[in-house]
Amino acid sequence: KMLISYVDNLPTGDEKGLFYALDLGGTNFCVLRVQLGGKEKRVIKQEFDEVSIPPHLMTGTSEGLFDFIAEALAKFVATEGEGFHPAPGRLRELGFTFSFPVWQTSIASGTLIKWTKGFSIEDAVEQDVVAELTKSVEKIGLDMRVTALVNDTIGTLAGGRYHNPDVIAAVILGTGTNA
Do 31 and 47 meet the contact criterion of CB atoms below 8 Å apart? no
pLDDT band at 95 (very low <50, low <70, confident <90, very high): very high
Full DSSP string of 100-142: S-EEEEETTEEEE----TT---GGGTTSBHHHHHHHHHHHTT-
State the alpha helices, DSSP H only, in 49-111.
Answer: 62-77
Contact yes or no for 115/65 (Cβ under 8 A): no
3 within domain boundaries: no
CATH code (residue 135) = 3.30.420.40
- Residue 6: DSSP 8-state: -
102 part of a folded domain? yes
Residues 138, 128, 30: CA angle, nearest 5 degrees:
65
Is 169 among the domain residues? yes
Structural domain harbouring 80: 16-178
pLDDT recorded at residue 90 = 81
pLDDT tens figures, 23-81: 998 899 999 999 988 888 888 889 999 999 999 999 999 999 999 999 999 999 999 88
Number of domains in the chain: 1
2 lies in some domain? no
Cβ neighbours of residue 74 closer than 8 Å, sequence gap 6 or more: 140, 142
**Taking 90 as the threshold, does the pLDDT of residue 178 lie above it?**
no
d(CA 5, CA 8): 8
**113-146: pLDDT as tens digits:** 999 999 999 999 999 999 999 999 999 999 999 9
15 neighbors 29 (Cβ within 8 angstroms):
no
Q: Is residue 132 part of a domain?
A: yes
Q: Within a domain: residue 11?
A: no
Residue 4 counted as domain residue? no
Q: What DSSP state is assigned to residue 86?
A: P
